[in-house]
Amino acid sequence: MQNMVDGVLYKNTVKTLTAVAESINLDKDVLVRLLKPRRAFIVSVPVRMDDHSIQVFDGYRVQHNQTLGPCKGGIRYHPSVNMTEVAALAMLMTFKNALLHLPLGGAKGGVCVDPSKLSETEMQGLTRRYTTEIHPFIGPERDIPAPDVGTSPQTMAWIMDTYSQKEGFSIPGVVTGKPLEIGGSLGRVSATGLGSIYALRAACEKTDRSLEGMKIAIQGFGNVGSHAAMSAHERGAKIVAVSDVIGGIHNSNGLDIPKLVEHYEKNRSLSDFPDTETLSNADLLELKCDALLPAALDSVIHEENADKIKAEIIVEGANGPVTGAADKILSENGKLIIPDILANGGGVIVSYFEWVQGLAAFFWTEEEVNHRLHSIITNAFDRVWSFSQSQKCTMRDAAMAVALRRLEAAMQLRGLYPR
C-alpha cells in the first residue's frame, strides 16, 4: 500500500479524515481501520487490438470498507487511473454512503487507458477481460460496480453479461447504471447532476438565496455537468458558462441549455455555439458568478487559483476538485463549499435504487426515483448543515464528521473478527 500515498487526492482525503477524526474524538481503533482499504488489487488486462496485436493494460479495484453493506463504486477508464487515485476514491465512497445513510460500503475501480483511442470492439474486449479478472471479488452481495469517467451504460451491460455468463444465469444486480432494457433504473443517467442541483437548492434555502435567476458556471459538460446544467436551467437558474476538456463558452445573460445539449450531442463540441464567447477551463473557474460547479476531474481548484475564485458557492460535482490548501483559502474567504461526498451523491443514491429494484424485480417511475433522490440528498444536507452550524466548522469537515460517526457506531457494534 505504500505507493498509495503519493497522490494529491489520497493525501487530501487522509488529511481530512485524520483531522476530523481528532476533532470529534473518533475511536482510535476505528480510525486505524479506516485509514487502509480492506482489499486492493491490480490485474493485467490483455486485449487483442483491431490490428491483431495484443496490448496489456493495468486494471485496479479497491474495496475500502464493507461495514454497512456490500461495496459500491464506479469503474473509470482514463489514462490517469492508478492505485493511488482508486484508493482515494474508494475511501470517499465509504464516507459518501455512510453520510447518505445508504446500506453500502465503498469501492472504486478502473483501467489505465484512453478510451477515445479504442474502437468499440476493443472497448468490449477490454471490459470483458477486466470483468473476468475481478469476477471473484464482485457480485450483488459483495461489490457492485457502476459507470464513472470513461465508462457508460453499455460498459455496464458488457460487465453484467460477462459476469452472468461465468455464473451460468442472468444476474442484473452485479452492476448499476445499466441500460433500461436489462434492468437499469429510470433517472439513473441524470442522477448525479440532478442531485448536485438539489444540494445547491438546499444551500440556497439555508442562506436566503434563490436558485431562480442564480448565475452558475459549470466546468465539465459530460454526464454530470450537462444534466446539472439542464436541471438548473429548468429551475430558473442562468447557466452563464460551461466547458469540456477542450475549453468553454460564456454568455453573461445565460446559455440556452436545451439547444446547447442538442448542439453538443450532434457535434461533440461546444465550439461554434451562437451568441457565446470562448474561454479556457481555468478562466471559467475564476468567472464572476453566484455558484461554481466543477464537474470534471480532481484538484482543479488549488492553492494557486483559490484566491481568484469569485463564486460564493462551490458545488463539488466531481470527486475532489478542491485541494486541501484551496479549501482553507476558500473558507477563509467566506465561500460555501458543498463537498463532493454530499454534492455528487445522486449517482450512488439512484444506483442504490437500481440495486433494490433489481433484487425485488419491481421498478419505479422516474417521478418516484427523483422524489426519493430529493429526500435523501436534502436530509443529508440538513444533517451536515446542522453539524456545521453547531460546531462552527466547514461543510466538508461536517460531512466527514457525520459520516464517521455513523461508521464508528456500526463498526463498534459489529466488533472485530477474529477478536
Which positions are annotated as active-site residues? 108
Q: Return the beta strands (E) in 222-298 as ranges.
A: 238-243, 248-250, 277-279, 291-294
Q: Which residues contact 361 (CB under 8 A, 6 or more apart)?
A: none
Q: At 284, list the grid cell.
A: 471559467
What is the spatial distance between Cα 150 and Cα 160, in angstroms, rounded to a whole number?
17
Helix 223-234 to helix 191-206 angle (10° resolution) is 50
Angstrom distance (rounded) from CA 334 to CA 312: 8
How do 54-65 and 39-48 pair as beta strands? antiparallel
| Angle, alpha carbons 203-369-260 (nearest 5°) | 65
DSSP 301: B
Give CA 357 to chain center in angstroms. 21
Residue 94 per-residue DSSP state? H
- Residues 331, 328: Cα–Cα separation, whole Å: 5
Q: Are 398 and 388 in contact (CB under 8 A)?
A: yes
Rounded Cα distance, 256 and 397, in Å: 36
Q: For cell 439555508, name the residue.
A: 206
Query: Measured between alpha carbons, how far is 190 from 31 in angstroms, rounded to an integer?
Result: 34
